[in-house]
Amino acid sequence: MLGAWCGWASGFDRSTAPARATWFVTWAAAVAVDILLWRGRSRPASRWHLEPLGRPWPRPGHGGPRRVLVGVSPWLALLVVIVAWEVLGLDTGTHQPHLTISALSEAYRALHAALLAVWILVGLGYGVALARRPRPGPSGSVGTSTSGPPTGEAPHAGPPVAGAAMLASSPHAPALLLGNSRAVGVAFWIVVIGAAAALDLVARRSRGRVADGEELLGIVASSRVGNAVAIVGWTYAGWHLFAH
**pLDDT, tens only, 127-157:** 888 888 776 554 444 443 333 333 333 333 3
Cα 214 → chain centroid = 10
- pLDDT for 155: 39
140-149, 193-202, 216-225 — which is least confidently predicted? 140-149
**Residue 67 pLDDT > 70, yes or no?**
yes
- pLDDT for 146: 35
Burial pattern 57-69, b for ≥16 Cβ within 10 A else e, equals: bbbeebbeeebbe
Higher per-residue confidence, 136 vs 169: 136
pLDDT band at 32 (very low <50, low <70, confident <90, very high): very high
**Residue 177 pLDDT > 80, yes or no?**
no
- pLDDT for 142: 42
Average model confidence (pLDDT) for the chain? 78
**Residue 78 pLDDT > 50, yes or no?**
yes
**Residue 116 pLDDT > 50, yes or no?**
yes
**Residue 224 pLDDT > 80, yes or no?**
yes
172-176, 180-184, 203-207 — which is least confidently predicted? 172-176
**Residue 216 pLDDT > 90, yes or no?**
no
DSSP codes joined into one string, 56-122 = -SSPTT--SHHHHHHHHHHHHHHHHHHHHHHHHHHTS-TTS---SHHHHHHH-HHHHHHHHHHHHHH
* Residue whose C-alpha is closest to residue 237's, from 108, 98, 88, 82: 82
- pLDDT for 234: 93
Mean per-residue pLDDT for 25-31? Answer: 95
How far apart are alpha carbons 233 and 48 in whole angstroms? 25
pLDDT band at 4 (very low <50, low <70, confident <90, very high): very high
pLDDT band at 15 (very low <50, low <70, confident <90, very high): confident
